[in-house]
Amino acid sequence: MSKKIFLYDTTLRDGTQSEEVNFTVHDKLRIARRLLEFGIDCVEGGWPGSNPRDVEFFDRLKSSQLPKDKISAFSSTRKAKTACEKDKNIQALLKAETAVYTIFGKTSLLHVQHALNITPEENLELIYDTVGYLKKYADKLFFDAEHFFDGFAEDPEYALKALQSAYSAGADALVLCETNGGVMMDKLSHAVREVKKQLPQAVIGIHCHNDCGLAAANSICAVENGATHLQGTINGLGERCGNANLCTLIPNLQLKYGYDCVGEKIKELKSLSMFVNELGNLTPVIRDPYVGRSAFAHKAGVHVSAVVKNRATYEHIEPEIVGNTRRVLVSDLSGRSNLLYKAATLGLDIDKAQAGEVLEKLKNMENIGYEYEGAEASFELVVLKAMGLLPKFFDLVGYRVIDDKRSQWDNPLSEATVMLVVNEVAEHTAADGNGPVNALDNAVRKALVKFYPSLSDMKLVDFKVRILNGNRGTGALTRVLMESADEKCRWSTVGVAHNIIDASYQALVDAVQYKLYKASKAAN
């Protein structure tokens, strides 16, 4: 039987210290529920003595359906010369009324003497008193040994004494914190082995930061040397360079090392990663292992040709195991295998002769500046046109866009006029917007919606501009990536031109045509 790893998530506390991360109380409650449903053993909800938001989180937790024995409240050891009964942080912790408490204390003499300004003996008393006091009120109490590995390097005897104080007072786990993120794997492994040797009956945990890019590797080293309590965050959120990424650690430990982590729930890993990013309004890192959009993306023709025959040639696991999907990219580096595979995933039966023509066109377009890796709807339209499967929904006669700023105190006004022909009927329409592209978008859809009512629920949700040859200044070539959405899905399109409005129009027309094609296909 494989060894069970106790998974402790600190996204809601350590993760919120990450730059640009700001969860509401409602967000935190939703994330806590999702984490527990995924199989996380304990979720650290926050520090109730540090800010009003965490106080509110624990207040609302009391009336929620979340299991209180799987949510931890976090705080520090009592202040020097202050009894636990009178320490504000300790009493705030008790008011959280969770069944699990996590207390951090100093194990580095540098911090004891220069941060706390107390004697080494006084620090050991703080640890022992705090753990012993809180243990009377908790089902479980975890001790986070802050700066443990730095402290062990300075004075291993004292760092071990600090752990012994917590263990003697009743701590259920001694969590070795690699707080600065600067310890190398060999030194961390040695320290964990020494702790296991000195405290063989204690449950050892690991908490790593990623300042040297080694948080996941160091965490695995700790587990391999005896740690069974693993702390980290979803997507590696955390202060500075972040914490150990559970989205990397869980599949590595379960799939590569055979540890018991979350079982079949691992297939929900990518959706969990996306859920946390969505609530945090964070842009996903596309190259993240296992859960990133590019984790199983193949671009080179040789790679795709091999993967089609046997996925193991260029994939270390099947992407579906962690809830991800294989993606084949079509670009100027692609071969025919890429195109055939991509067309097949879209349900298009393209023959080899057509594939050759389409591939040549795609390569020429990308040489101009088009980019189809992030604009899959535009790619599908190119293939449909080559196969003669794309109906002619409308023709453009012309458009005009005007920006008017009447005084330095007024906001600019944007207005677009378009003339389109649908089934030999000319439609001439104008619309305004909060910018030229928004006005053009409004005008095009206003002109078409009477012919195609399905466009009424379509909207522009993202718009990116990239200058392709900046050395030409204002005459540079511009690429526009546009993301559109309706009530069911999202799709991305691309346009390229020297004129940013024309590039935007190309992407917009592709977006509308894609929407109309999908609607017509669904109707048939």
How do residues 481-496 score in pLDDT, each as one tens digit? 899 999 888 898 999 9
* Structure confidence by residue, pLDDT tens digits, 74-121: 999 999 999 999 999 999 999 999 999 999 999 999 999 998 999 999
**Which of these, 71, 2, 56, 48, lies nearest to 25 by C-alpha position?**
56
| Residue 102 Cα distances to 71, 90, 105, 199, angstroms | 10, 11, 10, 20
Q: What percent of the chain has pLDDT over 90?
A: 67
The domain segmentation of the chain, as residue ranges, is: 6-279, 297-368, 395-523
Predicted confidence at residue 125, as pLDDT, reads 97
* Domain 395-523 of CATH type 3.30.160.270: yes
Predicted confidence at residue 175, as pLDDT, reads 98
- For residue 422, give both structure tokens: 């649908």
Alpha-carbon torsion angle 274, 278, 283, 289, nearest 10: -10
Out of 248-252, 319-323, 327-331, the most confident range is: 248-252
Of residues 304 and 259, more confidence is placed in: 259
| Residue 170 Cα distances to 77, 139, 160, 339, 522, angstroms | 14, 11, 16, 62, 64
- For residue 201, give both structure tokens: 């009956």
Contact 46, 264 (CB under 8 A): no
Q: How confident is the model at residue 307 (pLDDT cuts 50, 70, 90)?
A: low
For 156, list phi and psi in degrees, rounded to 5: -60, -35
Q: What percent of the chain has pLDDT over 70?
A: 92
Predicted confidence at residue 292, as pLDDT, reads 92
Q: If you average pLDDT over residues 499-515, what whole number do you get?
A: 94
Residue 524 has pLDDT above 90, yes or no: no
Q: Beta strands 6-9 and 42-46: pairing type?
A: parallel
Predicted confidence at residue 463, as pLDDT, reads 86
Q: Which CATH architecture has domain 6-279?
A: Alpha-Beta Barrel (3.20)
H runs (alpha helix) in 51-119? 52-62, 88-96, 109-111
| Residue 53 Cα distances to 27, 59, 476, 515, angstroms | 11, 10, 48, 42
In the block, tokens 């993606």 appear at 327
Predicted confidence at residue 258, as pLDDT, reads 97
Q: How confident is the model at residue 470 (pLDDT cuts 50, 70, 90)?
A: low
Name beta bridge partners: 176.
Answer: 145, 206
Average pLDDT, the chain: 90
Q: If you average pLDDT over residues 53-65, what whole number do you get?
A: 94
SS3 437: helix
Residue 331 has pLDDT above 60, yes or no: no
Q: If you average pLDDT over residues 296-318, what whole number do you get?
A: 71
> Helix crossing, 500-523 with 436-448: angle to 10°?
30
Q: How confident is the model at residue 412 (pLDDT cuts 50, 70, 90)?
A: confident
Predicted confidence at residue 333, as pLDDT, reads 47
* Structure confidence by residue, pLDDT tens digits, 342-391: 677 777 777 777 777 777 777 778 778 887 766 889 988 988 888 888 89
Q: How confident is the model at residue 332 (pLDDT cuts 50, 70, 90)?
A: very low
Residue 123 has pLDDT above 50, yes or no: yes
Is pTM beyond 0.85? Reply is no
